[in-house]
Amino acid sequence: MAAGKAPDGFEVLTETISIQRPETNASSDETPPPLFVICSWMAAFPRHIQKYTDQYKKLYPSSTILLIQSTWKDVSGTDKFMKPRLAIAVSIIQDHLLQTSSKSTSTTSRPPPSPKIFLHIFSNGGATIANHLSIQLNSSLSSSPSLSPSTHNSSHQPGSIFSRLILECTPSRPNTSQAVLAVASAALPASKPFLLRLLGKFLIRCFVSYGFWKCWVLGKENMVDKLRRRLNSPFLTNNTKSESTNPSDAVSMKNEEIERNENGLTVPKEEIWDASIPRLYMYSKSDEVVSWQDVRDHAKEARDVKGFENVREEVFEKAPHVGLPREDFERYWGVVEGWWKGEEVDGGGGAVL
């Protein structure tokens, strides 16, 4: 992705972050319009992203859209590396919380309505960015008195900034062929010469295979397993945390700060997402980049193992990766719009809810 390249109508803020503000503001007596945060798939072309943002603008003309794109260095970056790269996005989300609360309290004596912030995640690239974003927001919420739970009627706690989530075509499991296809589709478009694409795919396969092999040899968690685990890392509320000062209890809690991922590797136990936030998985059985079974299994784990309270699935049959509207435009946007309104979904093509 070229530096500073964003869809038409967006104000470029950084290499990967841009914003589209409404042309008209909602009247002061209305519920404040939501903020939509879109984490697009890795190296997505602006013209492809715009197919989604244009529809969002049509459906929600008074809302702001915050777009976070991603490159390979973002997807492979550490938490420390990503902190400055997402700082502007964190600041914008904080401002939305503060401005919404201020506007509500200044116009009415009633408690302010909960600020609506909706997060739409695309593919593994967007999911990786979303994990980083949630981690940083949790940290800022914990350290900022102005964003304390008492500021908001909804008692925002770390992990609960977002009102609802959509996880589209994500997450996968580690798969060399699928990873090569994902990287090659972004780095080697069909317009490139055939021999160049052939050589490029070979080099990408070598690079991806080496990365997975190195993690396996060193006993480290690879980036795909990490993003998958983090998406299902629920935040423990204050009611579930021990307040004991007994030293033996402290040791026990310390031991509980690690866990094993689905491959048996010891990993940090993290608290990233509020388990009460509704999440909708949207995926296709024809996706060649992210297996639909991998997404389904993650949704099942979220619901049955990790304790996420409201997990729904919407399954498409023929759509390609991050191309669900191409199968049924009306159905796709009907589900998306309904989900943001608080409606439940029926699962579409045979999802088990």
Determine the Cα–Cα distance for residues 300 and 152; give it in Å rounded to an integer: 32
Average pLDDT across the chain, whole number: 83
What is the pTM assigned to this prediction? Answer: 0.84
Q: What does the pLDDT look like over 218-265, one tens digit per residue?
A: 778 899 999 999 999 998 654 444 344 444 343 333 335 777 776 677
What DSSP element (H or E) covers 48?
A: helix 46-59
Q: Is residue 338 within 8 Å of residue 118, measured between CB atoms?
A: no
Whole-number pLDDT of residue 316: 98
Q: What's the whole-number mean pLDDT along residues 308-334?
A: 97
Locate 110 and state its tokens: 């009633």
Is it the case that residue 96 has pLDDT exceeding 80?
yes
Three-class SS state of 331:
helix
